[in-house]
Amino acid sequence: EAVVASQTEAICYEATQLGTATFHSSFAPEEALIVVDELQRSRQTGIILADDLHLVYLLTPLFNLPFVSDWMTYLRIFTSLPDIRQLIGTRIGISPSYLQRRGQGGSKKIPGKSEAESIRVERFTLRFYVSLALSELIHENSIWNVSRRYQFPRGDLQTLMQSSSSFARMMVSFCQHMEWHSLAVLLSDYVKRLGFGVKPEIIPLVEVRGVRAARARALYSAGYRSVRSLANARPEDIVRAIPKLGTFGLHTAKMIISSARKLLEDKAGELRREAEEMLNEGREEII
């Protein structure tokens, strides 16, 4: 909001809903315009929920993505996708003929299309390829295998997971302030999955310090399904559950248990503070 004074009157400028969403999500204005255009297109044509690829695509950052090093590899991967994933790609706008033309050395500029439209096609085509890699990572496929399949350096994939998680938070905030609440709920489930590269059932475990994806999966398979179950575990049981803890296995197990207890205490403290705030607000309304 801004006020501009003149000799005759004061003019008050108020942010539009899009402006408010842009501000609170921390998107740059040009990013927000791309995001709102894409989300409106998706809401009109329909988001395919039979596979999580469509949502992952929406949460793939707009810029600073790894480059496609081999467009024919992209074409081969796309044409070998399950039907539902090819349908998602087609809904987004992916064209096998475009991939083939780029694989044969064609330029970014599409014959008969404007420069702006060619840039838009290039952007969503690259984002879709990156979203395929991200989708494999959040299904706990090895980063080594994903790197080899999509020809992205492992370091780039690790950076991409973190940037996608941050972008997802921004997208959720943007949707909330645009009052697209159902979409915000759908997208919010992927914030932590993208950051950790895991399936949803082990998210509580990877939030414990010292427990990454592989350890979390081993613990989950051994019956540890919650932070509380870790907090109540015995060190020797944790060592048996995670066979590759190494020489300092018992020490690491104790650290995991301690971290789980600390996490529970922190969450309990947050709940107490929220309860106190609600009680205080209730008292103020009564008064």
Which residues of the chain carry a pLDDT beneath 50? 1-6
Sign, CA torsion 83/84/90/95? negative
- The DSSP output letter for 5 is E
Amino acid 8: pLDDT: 55
Alpha carbon 47 to chain centroid, angstroms: 16
What pLDDT score was predicted for residue 5? 44
Give the predicted TM-score (pTM) of the model: 0.85
Contacts of 220 (CB under 8 A, 6+ apart): 201, 202, 205
Neighbours of 168 (CB within 10 A): 25
Cα pseudo-dihedral 78, 60, 30, 187, rounded to 10? 120
Q: State the pLDDT at residue 2.
A: 37
Q: Which residues contact 152 (CB under 8 A, 6 or more apart)?
A: 66, 133, 146, 160
* Distance in angstroms (rounded) separating the CA atoms of residues 214 and 207: 13
